[in-house]
Amino acid sequence: MRKFLLIGLLILCAISAGAQSSSVKRLESQRAQLEKDIELLNRKLSQNSKSSSEALSSLTLVRRKISAREQLIASYDQTLKLLNDSLRICQRELNRVQARRDTLAYYYSRLVKGAYKNRDSRLWYMYVLSSNSVGQAFNRFGYLRNLSSQMSQQALKLKEAEEELQVQKARLNKLKAEAEKVRKKVVDERTQLRSEEGDASKMVDKLKKDRKTYEKQLKEKNRQKQELNRKIADMIRQQTKKQSSGGKKSSGSKTTSTTVDTKLSNEFAANKGKLPWPVEGTIVERFGKHNHPVYQNVQLPQNNGVTLVVRRGAPVKAVFNGTVSQIVVLPGYNQCVLVNHGEYFTLYSKLKSVSVKAGQKITTGQEVGTVDTIGGEDLFHFELWKGSDPQNPENWLKR
């Protein structure tokens, strides 16, 4: 029974260690992405200081970096908790193996002492020969033979316990080293976080001091965003109207149907939460309505998509199969490509170059264009619509 309990304990320990190892690997992957985001934000902040006069832009980047840093610290804290749990499990296992090894050593010592006392072979012979009967002689001979066998078995068990003990000690030491490394990283990250929070505070002070200058810039940006919202909504409304009426459109000498592609719509909807990101970068503006980050009583225009900071000249790719509906140029957003996916639409804006044309069928992952540098900033704006209703892209793109 005790043997089965011991085997059960070992299995539970193994399962627990495996689950924790999987969680640690997941957290390591998460941290790798966060560190990548922070590196990109640092690079963009460095470029901003040289080419952009907008303190608000820098503040947005710093605050996004602070958010990433906080997530990074939380990830390290989770890893540290998992490692501490593993340390406790490993220590319990080590104590169990140590106790088993001590018990085996004790009984082995007793066997050795008994054998030593009776080491003279003549005593063994006399012990057998002095038996009262043949049966007793056989019993005594069997006892002596079993004693020798027990000593060999006990010695083997003791050796196995010693080896297991060394394995558990090595594992414990490795876990302690990993935990110490993570603790140091947490301290370093918290120091960095305090420094970045200080930078953000200075930028807020600057924005408050020069409010008139930045309000003028803000007014222009808001006008551009409102124009984008109006233009895109109008384009989609026109396209949707044509589709619902089953109308036709001409492209040169070629006439194509504009009815809704139901099959494509269903395929697009079925991939909600699994669509690939159009570009690699870090989100700095999220979907919806938000107040100004400094002038809290000022509400910004509705953001119908997400804006990412990306590396300079980054390629932009289609998130799903579709047809290019229209390409327009808008102030502050440069070239914008609207792609139709049946009932759904995706918008790719702030592009420097465009590698597709209106009416062209495109496939998932096909390059649409490259991101432009506008006012010293490398930003990409993406929107996703269901008919005339803007959707939060983060709910549709792969997490």
- CATH code: domain of residue 232: 2.70.70.10
Same domain, 143 and 52: yes
Taking alpha carbons only, the member of 277, 337, 326 closest to residue 306 is 277
Per-residue pLDDT of 78-107, as tens digits, reads 888 887 877 777 777 777 777 776 776 666
Q: Are 256 and 381 contained in the same domain?
A: yes
Q: Which of 128-142, 168-182, 265-279, 370-384 has the lowest mean pLDDT?
A: 128-142
User: Would you state the pLDDT for residue 305?
Assistant: 95
Residue 4 confidence class, pLDDT cut points 50, 70, 90: very low
The predicted-structure confidence for 105-156, as pLDDT tens digits, reads as follows 666 666 555 554 554 444 444 444 455 565 555 455 455 555 555 556 666 6
Q: What was the pLDDT predicted at 95? A: 77
Query: Is residue 266 domain-shared with residue 171, that is, in the same domain?
Result: no
Cα gap 143→203, rounded to integer Å:
88
CB-based contact 316:348 (threshold 8 Å): yes
Say if residue 208's pLDDT is above 60: yes
Nearest to 263, CA basis, from 324, 320, 319: 320
DSSP 241: H
- For residue 361, pLDDT beyond 90: yes
For 76, the domain range is: 2-209
Verify that 224 and 334 share a domain, yes or no: yes
* pLDDT tens per residue, range 51-68: 445 566 777 778 788 888
pLDDT number for residue 255? 36
**pLDDT in the model for residue 17:** 54
222 and 362 fall within a common domain = yes
3-class DSSP state of 272? coil
Residues 143, 221: one domain? no
Do 196 and 52 fall within a single domain?
yes
252 and 297 co-located in one domain:
yes
- Which range, of 146-150, 287-291, 294-298, averages the lowest pLDDT? 146-150
Same domain flag for 242 and 302: yes
- Three-state DSSP at 70 gives helix
Cα–Cα distance list, 316 to 225, 272, 275, 353, 377 (Å): 21, 20, 14, 10, 16
Q: What residues pair up with 347 in beta bridges, in sequence order?
A: 338, 383
Domain count, the chain: 2
The model's confidence at residue 256, banded by pLDDT at 50, 70 and 90, is very low
Do the beta carbons of residue 395 and residue 309 sit within 8 Å? Answer: no
Give the pLDDT confidence score for residue 335 in this predicted structure: 95
Query: What H or E segment, with its residue span, contains residue 282?
Result: strand 281-285
> Do 184 and 125 have their domain in common?
yes
Of 193, 209, 225, which closes a domain? 209
* Cα→Cα distances 11→3, 4, 228, 280, Å: 12, 11, 60, 42
Do 174 and 246 sit in the same domain of this protein? no
Which of 209, 236, 270 is the last residue in one of the domains?
Answer: 209
User: Which is higher by pLDDT, 258 or 357?
Assistant: 357
Q: Do 305 and 342 sit in the same domain of this protein?
A: yes
Per-residue pLDDT at 107: 64
| Last residue of one domain, picked from the residues 175, 209, 243 | 209
